[in-house]
């Protein structure tokens, strides 16, 4: 049986330079090569990632990518989830109409995507947004510019320059919240156990092993836990080996920028004692950046062995939960 194009490229991992020479006319070749020169100057690699697609990666995060189409030419796509948090930059650079003109919508290309999803981009609600092509996460959002002219490429470069300048952590070097200085972090791997739902059962949420909930306490930032609780709250119960009074806790983002909106922290002395509300939050502080800890002071601390997070109707990814004592 003959190999598909995807199988062929997966084996060969073609270089972008070689591919454009064989598939684009001379005018479009010059545009792509000029953009690639910019990427090289900024030390942005562009490895092959999927069929006719090369991903732009730098400083531990994916910026976007380049796609070559045998019929229509080429396209640059950029992730918008992070950029949307910086309204001042978008206004100062007069980028709002430029971004909105390039929103990628669902074209029914496959059953996974169709009919797309509903989301807000720069304050405007969109329906049938694409969530398969180029998208790292189902509800990530991207800007796609097909055969961009010189003016569009200049704006793309400005967006990338801004994104590169933003502070963020990596899986090897996460950013920790300075508010926790002077506190002692509980060693998750040694002192946390009994991870379960509210009924004491292992958490089953139709996730893969790479996104299981226990990853929150494994001390590794290159793993993550994915929460899917669209209708009800998501209950996460765990216990310490010894009772302790927690002063603060930290939620550490992962590669994705999906974070919880509302959550509560409870404590209980034992399984037979009632849960007592220790902390309640209605917003995750912005800006949200990859592999970055946001720490929260517990408003009603006490000495407990059992703890419980209740995340309200959220869909999010976290790499770690940190617990801090005096």
Q: Is 228 helix (H, G, I), strand (E, B) or coil?
A: strand
Angle at which helix 26-41 crosses helix 150-165, to 10 degrees, equals 20
- Look at residue 174 in the predicted model and tell me its pLDDT: 94
DSSP per position, 20-74: HHHHS-HHHHHHHHHHHHHHHHTT----EEETTEEEEEETTEEEEEEEEETTTEE
User: Same structural domain for residues 193 and 319?
Assistant: yes
- Cα 221–Cα 222–Cα 228 angle in degrees, nearest 5: 85
Mean pLDDT, rounded, for 279-304: 95
Select from 256, 251, 267 the least CA-distant residue to 306: 267
Instruction: Report how far apart the first and last C-alpha atoms of the chain are (Å, whole number).
Output: 65
Q: Report the distance separating Cα 229 and Cα 246, nearest Å.
A: 26
Distance set, CA 151 to CA 31, 33, 179 (Å) = 12, 16, 43
Q: Where are the beta strands (DSSP E) in the chain?
A: 48-50, 53-58, 61-69, 73-79, 117-121, 124-129, 142-146, 184-185, 192-196, 225-228, 234-252, 263-268, 276-281, 293-297, 303-311, 315-318, 320-325
CB neighbourhood size of 261 (10 A) = 14
User: Same structural domain for residues 146 and 48?
Assistant: yes
User: Same structural domain for residues 62 and 103?
Assistant: yes
- More confident position, 167 or 200: 167
Range of the domain at 91: 5-165
Domain termination residue (choose one: 122, 137, 165): 165
Mean pLDDT, rounded, for 106-111: 60
Instruction: Judge whether 173 lies within some domain.
Output: no
Domain termination residue (choose one: 165, 193, 216): 165
Mean pLDDT, rounded, for 62-67: 91
Reported confidence tier of residue 80, pLDDT bands at 50, 70, 90: confident
Q: Of 113-127, 250-264, 275-289, which range is least confident? A: 113-127
Mean pLDDT, rounded, for 156-164: 95
- Look at residue 110 in the predicted model and tell me its pLDDT: 57
Reported confidence tier of residue 139, pLDDT bands at 50, 70, 90: very low
Q: Is 180 helix (H, G, I), strand (E, B) or coil?
A: helix
Mean pLDDT, rounded, for 196-217: 69
Residue 199: exposure state from Cβ atoms within 10 A (0-12, 13-18, ≥19): exposed
Number of domains in the chain: 2
Instruction: Judge whether 44 lies within some domain.
Output: yes
Instruction: Judge whether 118 lies within some domain.
Output: yes
Instruction: Judge whether 25 lies within some domain.
Output: yes
Q: Report the distance separating Cα 245 and Cα 263, nearest Å.
A: 20
Domain termination residue (choose one: 125, 141, 165): 165
CB-based contacts of 319: which residues, under 8 Å, 6+ apart?
Answer: 171, 174, 215, 216, 220, 221, 222, 223, 224, 225, 252, 253, 254, 255, 291
Q: Is the pLDDT of residue 138 over 50?
A: no
- Look at residue 195 in the predicted model and tell me its pLDDT: 84
Q: Is the pLDDT of residue 209 over 60?
A: no
- Look at residue 136 in the predicted model and tell me its pLDDT: 41
Q: Is 249 helix (H, G, I), strand (E, B) or coil?
A: strand
CATH number of the structural domain spanning residue 194 = 2.60.120.260
- Look at residue 28 in the predicted model and tell me its pLDDT: 92
Select from 116, 16, 24, 122 the least CA-distant residue to 71: 24
Q: Is the pLDDT of residue 106 over 70?
A: no
In terms of phi and psi (left: phi > 0; alpha: psi -120 to 50; beta: otherwise), the region of 159 is: alpha
Q: Report the distance separating Cα 162 and Cα 289, nearest Å.
A: 14
The percent of the chain in helix, strand and coil, each rounded to the nearest 5, is 25, 35, 40
Q: What is the mean pLDDT of the chain?
A: 84
- Look at residue 141 in the predicted model and tell me its pLDDT: 62
């Amino acid at each position: 049986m003959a190999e598909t194009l995807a199988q062929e490229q997966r084996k060969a991992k073609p270089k972008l330079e070689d591919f454009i020479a064989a598939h684009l006319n001379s005018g479009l070749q010059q545009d792509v090569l000029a953009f690639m020169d910019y990427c090289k100057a900024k030390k942005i690699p562009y490895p092959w990632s999927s069929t006719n697609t090369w991903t732009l990666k730098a400083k531990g995060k994916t910026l976007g990518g380049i796609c070559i189409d045998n019929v229509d030419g080429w396209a640059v796509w950029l992730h918008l989830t992070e950029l949307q948090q910086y309204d001042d930059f978008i206004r100062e650079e007069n980028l709002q109409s430029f971004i909105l003109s390039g929103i990628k919508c669902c074209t029914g290309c496959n059953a996974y995507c169709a009919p797309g999803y509903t989301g807000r981009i720069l304050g405007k609600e969109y329906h049938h947004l694409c969530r398969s092509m180029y998208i790292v996460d189902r509800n990530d959002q991207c800007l796609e510019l097909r055969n961009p002219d010189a003016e569009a490429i200049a704006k793309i470069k400005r967006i990338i320059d801004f994104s590169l300048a933003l502070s963020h952590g990596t899986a090897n070097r996460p950013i920790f919240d300075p508010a926790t200085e002077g506190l002692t972090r509980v060693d998750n791997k040694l002192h946390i156990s009994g991870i379960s739902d509210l009924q004491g059962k292992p958490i089953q949420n139709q996730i893969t092993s790479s996104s299981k909930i226990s990853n929150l306490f494994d001390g590794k930032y290159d793993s993550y836990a994915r929460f899917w609780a669209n209708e009800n709250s998501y209950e996460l119960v765990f216990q310490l080996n010894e009772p302790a009074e927690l002063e603060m806790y930290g939620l550490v983002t992962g590669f994705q920028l999906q974070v919880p909106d509302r959550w509560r922290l409870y404590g209980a002395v034992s399984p037979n004692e009632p849960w007592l509300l220790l902390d309640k939050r209605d917003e995750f502080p912005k800006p949200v950046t990859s592999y970055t800890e946001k720490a929260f002071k517990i408003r009603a601390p006490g000495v407990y062995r059992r703890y419980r997070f209740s995340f309200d109707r959220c869909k999010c990814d976290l790499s770690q939960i940190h617990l801090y004592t005096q």
